[in-house]
Each structure stands twice: as C-alpha cells, then as structure tokens.
Structure 1
Amino acid sequence: MGAGQDNHKAEPPAARARWRWRRLLWLPVLLAAFSVLQVLLLRFIDPPVSTVMLWRYGEALAQADGAYRLHYQWRDLEQIAPSLPISLVAAEDQRFPLHRGFDLQAIEKARDHNAAGGRLRGASTISQQVAKNLFLWQGRSWLRKGLEVWYTLLIETFWPKQRILEVYANIAEFGDGIYGVQAAARSFWNKDASQLTASESARLAAVLPAPRRYDAARPGPYVQRRAAWIQRQARQLGGNAYLKDD
C-alpha cells in the first residue's frame, strides 16, 4: 500500500512542469478579473485614496519630509460648482463627451506636432488621467502604458462620463499634497467647492500640467493667460450644457 502511494506521488518532471505552466497561465486571468472588480466597485464606492497620493506620500517619507501633508476630501459632482467640470474639459480634453477613452484626433495632432520638433505635447484624455492617477504607479514603461490602456477601456465600459469627471475632479492634484477640488477650494480660498467662481475654476484647471510649479491662488502670467483661454474655450463649447447629455 505504501509503495503504491509513493509511485503515485512520484510524478515525472515533465508533468510537474506542465502543472506549473498551467498555474502561470491562470495568473493573467486572475489579474484581469481583479482589475474588473476594482473598476466595478469604484463605479459606486468613492475611492478613499489613489495610488498617486500613496506614491507621493511615500516619496515624502523617504525624503524625511515631515512638513508634507496630504489634503483630500471627496465631493460628489452635484456638490461642486458647475464651472469646474467644464473648465477641466476645456483645459484637458475638449472631446471628452465624444470619445471612448482615447482621442485619436488629438493623438494624431500631438504626433505631428512632436515630429515637427516643437515642445512635446501629450494627448492623454481625462479617462486616461483617471486610470493613471487612480490605479497605477509613477514613471514610464511599456507595462505601465499597457495597463493604462486596459484600465481606460474598463473605465469607459463600466462608468458613465459623469462618474469619470467626478472622480477626476476629486483625485487630480491641484497643489503639493492638495488632491481634489474640495481640498483646493479650502486651501486656496477658504471656501467650499460648490462656491467656486468661473475664474477660480479656470485657474485650478490651468495649473494641472504642473500643479507643484504653478499656483492657482497667486497666479503668475502663465496661469492668468491660460485661465483666460480656458474660460473662452468653455464658453465656445457651450458651457455646462456641453456636458449635460454625456
């Protein structure tokens, strides 16, 4: 009886190798299922934190920056001044209601612009920014870019556009350690996000390319010019009505 059991347990090396490979092949399936579950849950649950916030906090700890503070407070979209979402769209992604996560026209224009040798221009949509800020780490790599595409597709599949805008307005960095429009409104103007003026909303959107470099509360010439341009673009898009049907 014991000898029979020993023979049964003594699998050939080839069989053991096949079993290991089968387990490895299941790993991408499990990771994909986990990511789908993440996105589905955050369709209804407001994220308590983002990976960008955690990454920045880790940097501060590593640098022994005891003065660093993370400011983040969620606000539902209806609790945010209507001028803020349209300002974000005017500044970052004017075709946001029209595309499905990737703006092919903007990508083509950015490619032609960069090929001509101008200042490097990106073409990330708001959906892509949410994918990067909420789920992924900092840095550049093909793996990260592939995951950004995957999460963007999931977000556009399972979330309505209003939810994407709501999350973006709440996790975008508007200053060093200041995440989301509520924290920005409190830190810069000591008011609630619902009380932001069109000018203040435009200034918040204007600093997004480099929120640790530019200051929405004390705007320099660049932020002032860009904020004025954002307000003009928001009006040309049709104002808040541009986002009503997305």
Structure 2
Amino acid sequence: MPTPMKRIAGRILVAVMILVAVPIVLTPIYAIRAIHPVSTLMMFDEVTVHPVLRDWVSIDDVSPVLLHSIVMSEDGQFCRHDGIDWGELLSVVDQALDGEETRGASTITMQTVKNLFLWNGRSFIRKALELPLALYFDLVLSKRRIMEIYINIAEWDTGVYGIEAASQHYFGKSASKLSAREAALITVALPAPDMRNPANPSRLMRRLASRVERLARSSGAYVGCLDPN
C-alpha cells in the first residue's frame, strides 16, 4: 500500500505531466485563426463570477500603429528572436548575480504563454516554465498569430481583456480607429493596468507615451513580421 509521501509525490507528478501536456496539445490548436484562446486569469474571473469584458478582434482590424507601439515598447526584438530575447535575459541574469535590482526580460511570446498557461507573480519556477513554452510557441505559431493572441488576452483594466474591449473602455472607439497618441497611451498602460489610466494619463504616462510614439514612427524593419502575408 502506498505511503502518504508516495501518494503526494504521485499527485505532484500527475500535476506536472498535465501542466506540460496542456500547452503541447493546445498550441497547435491555437494556430487556427477561428480559435479564440482565453487566459488563465480570465478563466479564474469566470469561475469566481467576476465581470469579464472582452470582444475578440482580428489583428487585421487593429490599428497598425498600435501593433508597432506594443512591439517597440514591450519587445523591440520580437520579430527577430525565437521567443526569448537571449541577450536581454542574460543581461538580467548578470545583474541578479551582481546583486543589482533587475528589470523584466519577458518577451511578448513569454507574456503570451504566461497568460495562457501559467500564473501571475514573480517566481523562478514560473519563469523556468515560460522559457521552453515560449520556444515551442514561437516554433509552432507565426509572429502575427502570437501578436493577435497577445493583444486579445492582455488585461488592460480589472476584468477588461483584449485591445478591443480596452479601446472601447478607455476611448469609446474601436481598436481600428485608435490614433498614434491613443495607441501609445494604451500601450504604456500594459505594465501596470490597475494603476495607469490611458484616458486620464499622469505626467509620467504622457512622457512615456511620447517616447513610444517616436519609436513607433521609426519602427521600420523591427515590425516587419506583423505585415499581412
């Protein structure tokens, strides 16, 4: 008869196998444009009966300047890396080993797999899981599809998921109608959606948005992978 420790170990093993199997199975399915994935946070809100606002929008119906703003603000090497910006990641590791305060090194792909399959919060375990998932996600899906999923599952305010819902929520217009300034403001809200309001930006937000606007205007080849085929 199994001991309590063996039973616990067995349950942990089963949980790990499920955690690994789910992304492996779902990622190829998510390559299908007709499939509209949901994030773990959205599912949690639904289960706990919290309001959820989302209206899936095709990447074809999103203002290009918004896509360019997100790439240049969140992950400038998005079109060039394999899901992980190794240079940025190694820089953060070096800073941590030197005892310095580190900044985030998550790519858009890593943020997407975290939102789809993992959980929020700073954790070495979660970060370790993100890396192989991001490589696999980038291998199976196109950059354009990854971006389409990302902008539709990112949380822009409490219970407000996806760029279409966020655009309507903050500016009363479709994501296809966002101006360069509005796109920049809604982009700089991403790192702290519960503290930053694009419709009522602070001085810091306005300054950050001005920088994002400049970067988006000069994005060029950095955003070439987002061009329609």
Q: Please give the TM-score of this superposition, normalised by the length of structure 2.
A: 0.83
Q: Distance in 2 between matches of 1:225 and 1:168?
A: 25
Tell me the residue number matched to 1:238. 220
Residue of 161, 164, 176 corresponding to 1:194: 176
Structural mapping, 1:72-221, within 5 Å: 72-112=54-94, 120-221=102-203
- Displaced runs of 4 or more, over 4 A: 24-33, 56-59, 112-119
Q: Distance in 1 between matches of 2:142 and 2:90?
A: 26
How many aligned residue pairs are there?
221
Q: Distance in 2 between matches of 1:194 and 1:107?
A: 33
Tell me the residue number matched to 2:39. 50
CA contact (8 A) 1:86 1:243 kept: no
CA contact (8 A) 2:30 2:37 kept: no
- Give the SS at the match of 1:71: coil
Could you say if the C-alpha distance between residues 31 and 239 of structure 1 is closer, same or farther in structure 2, counting changes exceeding 3 Å?
A: closer
Q: Distance in 2 between matches of 1:87 and 1:33?
A: 34
Alignment-mate amino acid for residue 42 of structure 1: Y
Shift of 1:50: 1.0
CA contact (8 A) 1:114 1:121 kept: no
Structural mapping, 1:16-35, within 5 Å: 32-35=20-23
Q: Distance in 2 between matches of 1:128 and 1:155?
A: 9
Residue of 20, 28, 31 corresponding to 1:40: 28
Could you say if the C-alpha distance between residues 149 and 239 of structure 1 is closer, same or farther in structure 2, counting changes exceeding 3 Å?
A: closer
- Could you say which structure has the larger radius of gyration? 1
CA contact (8 A) 1:101 1:127 kept: yes
Structure 2: stretches of 5+ with no match in the other structure: 2-8
Identity over the aligned pairs, expressed in percent?
A: 35
Q: Distance in 2 between matches of 1:119 and 1:168?
A: 27
String of CA shifts for 1:148-167, please: whole Å, max 9, x gaps: 22321221111000001111
Q: Distance in 2 between matches of 1:239 and 1:201?
A: 19
